[in-house]
Amino acid sequence: MSESVCLEAKNISLTFRARRGFFRYSYHTALDNVSFDIRKGETVGIVGRNGCGKSTLLKVLADILKPDAGELVSHVNYVSLQSLATGFEKNLSGRDNAILSAMLLGHTLEQATAALPDICDFAELGDSFDEPVKTYSSGMRARLGFSTAMLMHADVLLVDETLGVGDSRFKKKAEAAILDKINSDQTVVFVSHQSSQVERLCNRAVWLEKGQVMEVGDTKTVLNNYQAFLATLPNPQKRK
């Protein structure tokens, strides 16, 4: 193993079971024998169609979901997942949620509290920072989560779709923050539906299709092959 490897996904598989009636279940394979590694200081983009397993993979990398088979080997202390699907304590304020999120990453109360002015400023929440998160729009929640993740240290930062949320000005601001992390040798893994964004930001890309890794490698090569695959699909809806 290279000393620069942060995370290793080794033959990871994960199947979800859903009840369909008395003694009846359906099964969905979200990840199927997934293997690749994340190296220190690189930025990796995960691409693929809706439902291909991208968000599930990030949750496995964050150790939120446990695989049914295979293993995740971590060589770092703190992995942070910033996701639109990551829940906040809705009855707590944005301020308290930011503190809670930071402390879950291993930061002290003092460190979390010291970062609050910058988090509030970056998220552009103003007085809403002290209002319950249940009163927030989805965009406000995304800005809060993104800002907390950006401004608190983590060995590996996982970002799920947030760069596609908000108005064009905040998108540019979010992308600039990611670029700052990249330039500071932060390890970043993110999911995006925007191939141009992945090409601009990423050293490598992982292409998922139906829970399987189709290709891992140079960003431009992977994206070209992914786009060529999309062009073969007969139904435009399947290209999303």
pLDDT in tens, 96-144: 999 998 887 778 899 999 999 999 999 999 999 999 999 998 888 888 8
pTM for the complete prediction? 0.80
More confident residue, 26 or 19: 26
Q: Write down the pLDDT at residue 189.
A: 93
- Region 196-211 average pLDDT: 93
Compute the mean pLDDT over every residue in the chain, rounded to the nearest whole number.
87
Q: Which of 92, 90, 87 is nearest to 130 (CA)?
A: 92
Q: How many CB atoms lie within 10 A of CB 213?
A: 21
Cβ(51)–Cβ(196) below 8 Å: no
Q: Which of 124, 169, 126, 168 is nearest to 146 (CA)?
A: 124
